């Protein structure tokens, strides 16, 4: 593993207990993820969670993406295409009881 590797984590089960940790890119969660990422050689960590977007009446996959300072340009390009920054806007949301 090096700066061209990404760590993808499905945290849907955790968001059931505290959906605020994963929706709308909580600054507390981002700070935690950034600090943990700096202890590794990964170029990125992205945490996914399924939530219910109440305003749009849909079940959707939300994510928090954190890039390391030394991320490979190739990994960054790949992530920018599939999980770009700034595209998620979730207002009122819930964690589903059954997914």
pLDDT score of 66: 92
Whether 90 has a pLDDT exceeding 70, the answer reads no
State how many domains the chain has: 1
Confidence label for 31 from pLDDT (cuts 50, 70 and 90): confident
Higher-pLDDT residue of 68, 93: 68
pLDDT band per the 50, 70, 90 thresholds, residue 62:
confident
Considering only the C-alpha atoms of the chain, give the largest distance between any 2 of them, rounded to a whole number of Å: 40
5: DSSP letter? -
Residue 75 domain-assigned? yes
The CA radius of gyration of the chain, in Å to the nearest whole number, is 14
Cα separation, 98 vs 27, in Å, equals: 27
> Which of 48-52, 58-62, 92-96 shows the lowest per-residue confidence on average (mean pLDDT)?
92-96
Structural domain span for residue 32: 6-94
In-domain check, residue 99: no
């Amino acid at each position: 593993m090096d700066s061209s590797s990404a760590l993808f984590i499905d945290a849907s089960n955790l968001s059931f207990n505290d959906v605020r940790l994963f929706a709308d890119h909580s600054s507390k969660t981002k700070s935690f993820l950034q600090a943990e990422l700096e202890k590794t050689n990964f170029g990125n960590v992205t945490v996914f969670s399924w939530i219910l977007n109440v305003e749009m009446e849909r079940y959707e996959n939300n994510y928090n993406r954190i890039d390391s300072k030394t991320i490979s340009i190739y990994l960054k390009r790949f992530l920018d295409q599939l999980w770009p920054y700034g595209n998620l806007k979730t207002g009122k949301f819930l964690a589903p009881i059954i997914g």
